[in-house]
């Protein structure tokens, strides 16, 4: 095992949609794929800031175990629907909102009258259904920003209005996190990890914003525990300085290899020194049209370049 723990690098970000992306982190110190993957997943699902409805009041309903005249759903069903309303709350203070709907039809989250401090992320979310054309429904809400999960007891204790019905609130805007660890290599280092983290959010923030916030939270937590102790931050493996980068970008044609060897490499889509050093000896042996003499020539040239 290497004596130095190299910093990782964010090698690639594959955006599948506005709410889903995969982050590839490599190369990682041996075993660090699961170490980072598990900690990132837990923080993403529990600690990224989001918004939620924490309490509500329906005119004509005094408690949750009742019905509302002219409304198809009972109050318990409405509570379940309200938990699925996704909000982006831009303030640390509770925000009061109102919904007014008259006549038969479906009440959705888009009917909520928002303010500059609140955005509704999924306006299509159904809240209730009015089945009486003469019925008017008025619902007041309290929305807050927070992290993780707040129980209905906690929401009840912190209600702005005692006549409101409290909700257990799911603040996290991250819906799903999956990670996968695979092996990777850099030069002669063959026991390194590659971590792929797939993040899906509710749309109130992008997967990259969620990823970076989770990483920043972990940095703050560990920095508070480290005290004055510091460890040398070695650059990511494969992250060379400018001179090394220029050398790795050298075309195969400029290595003064024999024409047969150079052509064999180029025909296999190996066009720079960087492409060459990422291959193992076995990889080279399996190249089409690449024999043992060509292998020896390449090994001698890499030794000459101290690569």
Stretch 186-192: mean pLDDT? 78
* Residue-wise burial string across 37-72, b where 16 or more C-beta atoms lie within 10 A, e elsewhere: bebbbebbbebbbbbbbbbbbbeebeebeeebebbe
- pLDDT tens, position by position, 266-284: 888 888 887 887 777 788 8
- pLDDT tens, position by position, 39-64: 999 999 999 999 999 999 999 888 88
pTM: 0.72
- The domains located in the chain, with CATH, are 10-48+174-226 (3.30.1360.10), 49-170 (2.170.120.12), 242-304 (1.10.150.20)
- Is the distance from CB of 288 to CB of 268 less than 8 angstroms? yes
Burial class (CB in 10 A: 0-12, 13-18, 19+), 231: exposed
Share of the chain above pLDDT 70, in %: 93
The residue with greater pLDDT, 240 or 183, is 183
- Token look-up 């050093």 returns 277
Close Cβ partners of 186 (under 8 Å, ≥ 6 residues apart): 27, 192, 237, 238, 278
């Amino acid at each position: 095992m290497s004596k130095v723990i190299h910093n990782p690098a964010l090698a690639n970000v594959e955006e599948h949609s506005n709410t889903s992306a995969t982050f590839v982190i490599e190369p990682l110190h041996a075993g660090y794929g699961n170490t980072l993957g598990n900690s990132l997943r837990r923080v993403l699902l529990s600690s990224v800031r989001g918004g939620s409805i924490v309490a509500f009041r329906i005119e004509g309903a005094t408690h949750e175990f009742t019905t509302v005249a002219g409304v198809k759903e009972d109050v318990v069903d409405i509570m379940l629907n309200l938990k699925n309303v996704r909000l982006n709350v831009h303030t640390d203070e509770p925000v009061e909102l109102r919904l007014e709907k008259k006549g038969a039809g479906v009440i959705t989250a888009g009917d909520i009258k928002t303010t500059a401090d609140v955005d509704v992320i999924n306006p299509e979310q159904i809240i209730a259904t009015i089945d009486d054309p003469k019925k008017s429904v008025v619902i007041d809400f309290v929305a807050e920003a927070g992290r993780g999960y707040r129980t209905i007891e906690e929401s009840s204790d912190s209600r702005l209005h005692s006549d409101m019905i409290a909700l257990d609130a799911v603040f996290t805007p991250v819906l799903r996190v999956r990670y996968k660890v695979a092996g990777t290599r850099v030069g002669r280092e063959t026991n390194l990890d590659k971590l792929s983290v797939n993040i899906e959010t509710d749309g109130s923030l992008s997967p990259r914003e969620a990823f970076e916030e989770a990483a920043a939270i972990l940095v703050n937590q560990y920095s508070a525990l480290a005290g004055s102790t510091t460890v040398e931050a070695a650059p990511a493996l494969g992250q060379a300085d400018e001179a090394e980068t220029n050398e790795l970008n050298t075309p195969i044609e400029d290595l003064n290899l024999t024409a047969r060897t150079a052509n064999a490499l180029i025909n296999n889509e190996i066009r720079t020194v960087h492409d060459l050093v990422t291959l193992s000896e076995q990889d080279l042996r399996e190249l089409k049209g690449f024999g043992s003499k060509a292998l020896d020539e390449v090994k001698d040239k890499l030794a000459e370049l101290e690569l």
